Amino acid sequence: MGVLRVKRLFYAALFILGVYLGLPGSPAAPYQPPAQAGPRPGDPLLTIRVYYAAEGKAVAVDLEEYVKGVVASEMPASFGAEALKAQAIVARTNAVRKMRILGGTSSVPDKNADISSDYRVDQAWNPVEVLRERWGAVTFWLDWPKIEKACEETRGIILVSGGSPCEAVFHSTCAGHTEAARDVWGRDVPYLQSVACTFCQHSPYYKAQTVTVPLERVSASLASLGVSVPASTISNGTIGVSQVSPTGRVKEVVVNGEKIRGLEFRMALGLKSTLVSWSVRGQNAVFQVRGYGHGAGMCQYGADGMARQGRTFQEILSYYYPGTRVAGIFDE
C-alpha cells in the first residue's frame, strides 16, 4: 500500500487542519470537529474513482458521498450511531489509502479507478440511487439520514498509525475474539492483533450455524484449489486440519498431502468463517461454522454492541485497532 505523506504547509491554503485526539489508550472524549475540519464536497483533490463492479466501469465520486455509499452497503442502518461513525472512518481510511492522487496505491487494474466496489477486493459500495431503489422509499427515508449524519459528523477524519492511514480491515462477526493479521494473511500488522470481543453476542452468526454441502461440491471446490479428490473417496479423514490459530480458526488444511490455506478453503466452499469444524455424513459434509468474515480488525456487530453500551466511535476504533488514533486527512 502507498504511504500518505502530505506536508501541512502545502495544504494550509485549502483546508483548516484537524486536531489530534489524545494518545492511544487514553480515555476518549466526544469528538467535536471544527466547522471545516475536513475536506468539502466538490474539491477536485477529493474525488475518488470507483470501479463499480455492477456496471463494469469506473465512476468519479466525491469522497464523502462515496463514504456514505460504503457505510450504507457494509453496515445495517439499525446499528448504533457511534458504530456507524466508526464504520464511516474506516471506510474513509480505506479509500484514502487507495487514492492515487493522495499518494495511495490502487488495488484495481483499471488505471482510471482507485478502488473497487466489490467487497471481495476492497469494500462494498453502491450509489445513492441504487440504494434508494433497493431499500424502497420508506426504508430509504428512515435509514439514509442516519447514514448521512454519521458520515457528516466524522467528515474528513481517518484512522492513522505512524503518520499513515491504517489498513482498516473489518468483518461482520468475530464470535468471541478477533484474529491477528499474521494468522489470516501471514504478515504481522502492529494494530491488527487479536482482541477479546464480548460485544457481538447479538449477531445471528455468533452461535454455530450448520451448513450441509454435498460431497460432489466439496470435490469440485477442492479441484478449484488444484487438489483432485473424487467425491466417492471423501471420508472423515480425508480433509485434515494441520494448523489452527490461537483463536481456534483453521489456518491450514491438508488433503492427500496437499496443504491449503484455511482462508482459501473457506472461500472455495462458500463458508462464512474459518472458525469451523466438519464431519462426513453419508453423501454430505456437514460444517459447524461460527462468526462471519476473516475476523481481523473491527468486528461490526461488536462495534454495534459497544455503541449500545454507550462507547464512542473513538473507543470502538481504539479497541479494535490498538495503538492507532484518529486525525484529519491532511494532518500528517
Return the residue matching grid coordinates 474528513. Answer: 156
Domain boundaries, the chain: 8-201+294-328, 209-290
The per-residue b/e assignment along 19-28, b for 16 or more CB within 10 angstroms, e otherwise, is eebeeeeeeb
- For the residues of 8-20, what is the DSSP string, one character each? HHHHTTT------
In degrees, rounded to 5, the angle at the alpha carbon of residue 248 between the alpha carbons of residues 242 and 254 is: 15
Query: CA 292 to CA 103: how far, in whole Å?
Result: 32
pLDDT at position 27 is 33
- Which three cell numbers, joined as nine digits, stand for 23? 494518545
Query: CA 215 to CA 219: how far, in whole Å?
Result: 6
- Which three cell numbers, joined as nine digits, stand for 157? 477524519
Return the residue matching grid coordinates 456487530. Answer: 301
pLDDT at position 332 is 57
Return the residue matching grid coordinates 479494535. Answer: 320
**Which H helix or E strand runs over 290?**
strand 284-290
- Supply the DSSP symbol for 173: B
pLDDT at position 111 is 82
pTM listed for this prediction: 0.85
User: Using an 8 Å Cβ cutoff, are 296 and 90 in contact?
Assistant: no
- Which three cell numbers, joined as nine digits, stand for 19? 486536531
Query: CA 67 to CA 71: how far, in whole Å?
Result: 6
Q: What is the residue-level pLDDT of the chain in tens, covering all 332 positions?
A: 433 443 333 333 333 233 233 323 333 333 344 334 445 544 555 899 999 999 999 999 999 999 999 999 999 999 999 999 999 999 999 999 999 888 888 888 888 899 999 998 999 999 999 999 999 999 999 999 999 999 999 999 999 999 899 999 999 999 999 999 999 999 999 999 999 999 999 999 999 999 999 999 999 999 999 999 999 999 998 999 999 999 999 999 999 889 999 999 999 999 999 999 999 999 999 999 999 999 999 999 999 999 999 999 999 999 999 999 999 998 75
Query: CA 203 to CA 305: how far, in whole Å?
Result: 9
pLDDT at position 108 is 86
